[in-house]
Amino acid sequence: AQTVTQSQPEMSVQEAETVTLSCTYDTSENNYYLFWYKQPPSRQMILVIRQEAYKQQNATENRFSVNFQKAAKSFSLKISDSQLGDTAMYFCAFMKPPWLIGGNKLTFGTGTQLKVEL
C-alpha cells in the first residue's frame, strides 16, 4: 500500500517570502501521479499543482512549483512571494494510474498548516 508523509504539521512564513513544504511517499510503482491540494478555512479542497512521475520536468503553476525527486520519493512544494490568501492547510496526495488495480484513488498525507503573516 502507498503511504504519504508530511512531517511538518505547521509552518509560518512572512508575506512576500518563499516557503517550502515537504512530502515523501512510498510506492513500488514506476508510474503514478502526485498532487498538492490546498484547503483554506472554507474547507474547500483546491488543486494547487500536479506532477506525472514519468515527466522529469518539475511542474509549475504561477507562484507554485514542485521539486520532484523520484529516486528519493520526495515531492516538495515551493510557494514564492507568499500572500495572505495562501494561508491554508496543504495536503500532498498520491495516485496510481487508472489502468492499474487500485488506481484512480487518492492517498493523502496528514497535511501542513501554513500561516502567512504580515
Partner 1 sequence: DGGITQSPKYLFRKEGQNVTLSCEQNLNHDAMYWYRQDPGQGLRLIYYSQIVNDFQKGDIAEGYSVSREKKESFPLTVTSAQKNPTAFYLCASSIDLLVAGDADTQYFGPGTRLTVL
Q: Compose the 39-78 pattern: x for residues touching partner 1 by CB under 8 A, - for all others.
A: ---xxxxxx--x-x--------------------------
Q: Which of 35, 36, 68, 75 binds partner 1 (CB under 8 A)?
A: 35
Q: For residue 116, which of 78, 72, 85 has the smallest C-alpha distance?
A: 85
Q: Which of 12, 69, 83, 110 binds partner 1 (CB under 8 A)?
A: 110
Q: For residue 66, which of 26, 108, 23 has the smallest C-alpha distance?
A: 23
Cβ atoms of residues 92 and 35 within 8 Å:
yes
Nearer to partner 1, 111 or 116 (CB): 111
Q: For residue 36, which of 105, 94, 91, 73 has the smallest C-alpha distance?
A: 91
Q: Does 36 bind partner 1 (CB under 8 A)?
A: no
Nearer to partner 1, 28 or 42 (CB): 42
